[in-house]
Every structure is written in structure tokens, then in C-alpha cells.
Structure 1
Amino acid sequence: MRATGLGAAVFAAACTGFSTTGNGSMIFLSTQFRPTDEVERFRALLARTAPGVAYVTIEESPFANRIRTQVSAGSNRIGMVGGLHGDLAPLAPDYLQDLTGLIADLGPRGWSPDHLRLARAGTDRTWYIPWATATYLLAAHSDALAHLPPGVDPEALTYDRLLDWAVAARRANGNRPMLGLPAGPKGLLHRFTQGYLLPSFTAGQITTFRSAEAVTAWQYFRELWANCAPASTTYDFMQEPLASGEVRMAWDHVVRLAQAPQRDPQNWRMFPAPRGPKGLGYMAVLLGLGIPKHGPEPELAQRTISAFSQPAAQIELLRSNGFFPAVGAAIPGDLPPAVRLEADAVRRQQQAPGTIVSLPPVGLGQREGEVSKVFQDTFRAIVLGGADIRNTLDQQAKVLQGILDDLKVPCWAPDPPAARCRVV
């Protein structure tokens, strides 16, 4: 049977170099929602929101090369792109259209000032429209909340107060830790050090990697780890040990916490990340929508971006694929309890005073895993292995700098922009 209409566009795009069809369909190329169930849900949402657009997914590594090649050739077949900040920012300004006028026409929709700043990619122009967001939070069951030390506000934790809480919970639980962290083989603990701990203690991620403040941060981490469940080295998704009761408080990505409160949501709370000496460091997983230069049907691309910037469409994306609104949108009461808990904590984290927004590594392509490994190896050496902190940081800084020197990339938030990213 021959595919027709939108189906033909998707088939042609996937198999023949992303060409459009004669039915006016525009290719929307994206690094997001690649799993089968996610892409099917998003295509259904796209068909309702912006008919005539074909959604095609691609892995992060070939994404930028595909855009650069087609734009440079002047025969771009891709009308619109979607991806993480790290996917889009390296394409600005040479390969993406300036959307400063579009975001002005869209008017105030409640975008975070931090997200708008990221969308400018270090310039005074807007290169993509913030689309959706995710982040990492603390989750706690009432069993752990019962052991909050006097005067500790879980809505406004510092790292010292988090440690006090973990210690008190362990002691009250027969010396069995109630705190867990995702330090398993597929866990995201390296995002904790990259986007939370180090920025909160040092105000940086790369440039401050071997600073005196970083030494203090790792000393703190040793103390915190001593009050974590030993099985944390096996935990990939914290919702599983939380739901089973192995631990009663944990930090993780919102998607990896969402299932924990399903059985007894009334006994669960979600909280912003703690604050350190330099501020409240948190990692923004920001999705954006952009328009490549020389693309077909730019007016349709702008209408599609406008449609996905509406609060209703943002809520539908939250329902279907679990990413939170990037615009000001009231969270309806009929969402799953865990999503409502997370949405409130996400909002409070974004709006907290003195935030330090961090990003996953930007512009590293296939070598991002090597940078993440530096943070993972540093954790294993210092926290698990008891290695000397100063010597370990100096050694790992050389590895990190070698990767950055090969790639010749600028730093990403929260480090200041520079032509070449260097560990000081």
C-alpha cells in the first residue's frame, strides 16, 4: 500500500534525505521523542496542532551536520528544527534564522528570563524559541519528612541542611540511610556534579573544575555519600527504590522520579535543589524550536512555532511526553499527581532567587560521553575510592582540557562564554 499525505512526507524524509512532498508538507527535523511510543504520541499532537508538518527524528550527532550541509549548499529541505539547547546553539547564527522579530510578535508568554538568554546563544538576537523544559528535583516520602531537623525548610534547603536531614533520617532509621542517589551504571549522578553541586559551590562547571571551592564541594560530597544507601551504586532510576521503600528521599531527573508517588501520592513531596555558597545551581534541560536558513515554507514554520508556544499546546506536550511548559501555563488538576507535584517544584526552582542555571555540555557531539566520564571517574576516585581530592582534580582537569583542546569549543553555562573553554 502506498503512503500518502503526511505519511508519505515522513517516509520520504526518513529514507531519501528529508525531501518534502508535493502536498505542502514541511519537514520538522528533531532530536527529541525518538522512541516509538513517544514519536507516535507527538505526531498525533502535531497533527492536531499544526497540520501539514511532517515530524522526522534524528540522533544528536548527525543533526548538526545535516543542517550545516543543507544550508551551506543553499538547497535546504528542512523547514523547522527542534532539539536541546546544546543541539541548536552551535548552529547560531550561521545556520539558523534570526527569530527576534518572531518572539516579539508572540508577545509576553511567561518565558523564563534564563531561557530567553540561552536562546540568544551569547548574542543580542534570538535564534530559537524556548519550547519545553525538564530538570532534576528532590523527592521525599513522608517517612523521611518526619525526620526533618527543627528549623529545616525542605522548600528552601541548603546543602548543609540536606546533610543534616540525611544524618537525622539515618539515625532515626536504625542507622540505615534513607537518602539515595542514582550512581548506577545508567544513572545520572554526573549531572548532579555538573549541574548542581559544583555550580552551587563554585559558580562554574568547567573553568572552576579544580578550584579551591571545588575541593570543598567534593569534601562535602564525601560526607553526604556517607549518609546515602550503599546500594546507590546500583540505582539507575530513583523511582524504583523510592517506590519499593529501599530509600525514602532521592534526587533525579523528573522523568525518573515520576512513577514513585503512584501508589500513595498524598505521602510524597517534590522540592527544588539545595542552595550552596554561590547560589542555587540547577540544570535546565531546555528544548527549543528554530528555523534553518534557506528553508522551505518559513511562514508555516513560524505558524507552527507560534502554535506550540500556546499554553494549551504546552500542556498537551506535558500530558503526552512529560516535558514541562516553557511558557507560563496553569497546570490543570486532572494531571497525574506526580506530574502536579513536579510541576510545582519545577516552577519554584526556576523562580528562586540567586539561581545558577547550568546546561548539559554543548557542542561536544560524540565526545560528550568523554566529558561525562571525567565527572564519573572523579566521583569514583574521590567519593568511592577515598583518593586525594586535590591530586584527583588536577589529574582529571588534564583529561578534560585535552578533550576541550581537541574540539576547540566555547564554554557553556554557567561558565562565562569564551572562544575556547579552559579549566583555570
Structure 2
Amino acid sequence: MTPGAPPPGDPAPADGGLPTSAVIEAAGRPLSFYVHVPYCRTRCGYCDFNTYTASELGPGASRDSWAATAIAEIDLARRVLPDVAGVGTVFFGGGTPTLLPPDDLGDVLAAIDDRFGLLAGAEVTTESNPDSVDAADLARLRERGFNRISFGMQSATPHVLQLLERTHRPGRPQEAAREARAAGFESVSLDLIYGTPGESAADWQHSLEAALEAEPDHVSAYALIVEEGTRLGARVRRGEVPMTDDDDHADKYLQTEQTLTTAGFSAYEVSNWARPTRSDETRVDHRCAHNLAYWQGGHWWGIGPGAHSHVGGVRWWNVKHPAAWSGRLAAQESPAQAREVLDADTRRVERVLLELRLSDGLDLAVLTERERRRVDDLVRRELAMINNQRLILTLPGRLLADGIVRDLLD
């Protein structure tokens, strides 16, 4: 299985240049970087991300040259955006970034700092599979400037891990979280998936409680989506496992909210919970600042094969295969495959879509007059409330977030 076709778009210039309006809008504002590491030891059965095992890479692509190529794209970003006000967040995702040596990741982070400057208190995150790191790796990552880590736990139940084709053993994510804490990471996050076929409510409760035993600062919990083209999708299509159920997802979401809230966490986005900061901590906020930059319409540059970027209302995406990505940069060309320039109404619609998912809600002034007339019905049905002229989804509304956006918008 290989990743799907990229979205359509307009041609992207070979020099990576952006419209003057986008460069002006980004000037004087912080930039974020997403850094895509497309390598995995094995491919999980549910995954349709742009990732590659060693056997899938083919000629012209190598893990050994990834860091140097990523730095070449950082240099391109610097030429295009000379006037941004430093970097507030960096997020290494994948794939499995921690399959690479810690110093490869550290060298890329150092290049971002050298070319753009990390702001004081910048959040620097790497994703990790729990079985791809040990205590020494985590200590080295912390030494190189990483202060936040997100482990892909997914479940603590053996038969669920087996169906998802996860390679770590139950209990390893909790161990890795404790090792990261001992290494000095300021924030530790665990990612969970609910609604796997055959997962009972008791299975899911076991996973939630196991995650809390690790004392994370942040938990993400996502409903399993069975994607076309994945091995799990093929098994569902053949009738080997049942399709996931929306009612089951809703029940487990409510179960998640109850369990995490009781443990002191607060949902700041539909699928993300953070615990409050203690008085003895240097970190001010355990919410993921990088993801908040996405949801609040910030500017970010995506480094790596298939990575997406957004600066000043221009969105673009890189060629997907690592060999094509590295080939473009070796030829001193932008790896962007295509782009789109968003008009004002598209940006407004996306703002509604994203900000309504946040606990802070959406400024009512963003809505048109006709859309605002629909708000009263949402409040009457107890799907939303208004606080300080902001529209905020209630817990029942969070269950129906996507549908509410569709019904609300003109």
C-alpha cells in the first residue's frame, strides 16, 4: 500500500516564491515548522499517512540523507520568508521521527534556530513510537532542544493493538513516558484511538486508565477512521472485521470526557485534553501550541516529503515520495507539487470550521448575518452556548461538530 494521490491545485513556482501579499502578511509574525519524517519500521494496518518502510523507499531515497535534505528546504524557507518574527513551535511528525538518530533530528532543529531563531519558550515536539526509543535516546533529544514528546500509545488492550498492527507491547508507552519525564521533557503526551472493531467499553476504559497511570500532561483521543487503501479497510470490505460504528464512537467519546475530566484534564479542542500547570513547573501551558497555531490560522512551513504548508492565505504541499522530494532540492528547486491561494471567504469558512472545535469557541462577528440567525437554534437545542460574544460548543455539540458547521454556514 502506498499513500493516495495528492490533492489538485495550481502549479507551484520552482523557486518556492510566494505572492507578495502572503510575504507581507507573515512579516513580523511568528512562524511554525512542521517537519515530516516519512519512515516507519512497519506500516500499521489502519494508516494512510505518507510513510514508507525500508522496502518501499526504492532508489534515490535514503534515511541517511534526510537531515541534509531537510536543512536544504529550511534554507529555501529562509530565502522566501526573510522577515518573520522567529519560530514559536516546531513539530516533528511522521512516520516515526525517532527511527532516526537523535542527532539527525537535533541537527534539523539547530538549522531552524540558526536560520530563523527559536523564540524564548518555543515548543519543540517530536512524535515517537514507544518501541523506537530508549532512555538514552530520550536524554539526547532533550539535550538537543526537544521539550515536548508525543507517544503513539493507541491502546493498552492486546487484541486491539494486534488488530491495529501496532508493534509495541502493552505497558511500553507508560514506560517511555516515565523515561521522557526522567530525561527532562517538560510535557509528555499520549495518543489514543477508540472505536477499533472488537473493542469493548471495558477495553477502552482500561486504555484510558493505563494512559493516566503514566501521568501524562496531554492526551489526544481520536475515533478510528477506516480509510480506503489500507489493510484494515480491505479486511472490513471483505467482511473479516466489522465496520466501526458511529454510536460506539459517541459512547466512547463521552467515556473519554468523563474519565479525563475526573482526572483533572480539560478538553481544549474536540479531540485533545490537557492537564493544568502546577505551580512548580516552568511550562506555562500543556496545550499543544503547535496544533493551536493550525487551528487559529497561523503561518507554518512544512518540511519534508508530502508536507503541507500555509503562509498568508497560500497553502501548498510537497511532492510525496522521498526520492522526488530530495531530487527537487538537490536541483535547487522547490519540492512543492502544487498550491492554492485562498480567497477571503474560503479563509473565513475554514476559520469557522477550525475555531468552533476549540473550547474558546468562535467570535460571532466572523459569521454572516444569516449565519448568526441560525445560532439561536443551536443554543435552544443545547448544542452551543454564547459567552462574551463567542459561540462555544457544548459536550453534545462536540459530538456533532462537523454537522453543526455544515448547518451553520451559508
TM-score normalised by L of structure 2: 0.25
TM-score normalised by L of structure 1: 0.25
Higher strand share: 2
Higher helix share: 1
Tell me: higher relative CO, structure 1 or 2? Use CA pairs within 8 A at least 6 residues apart.
Answer: 1
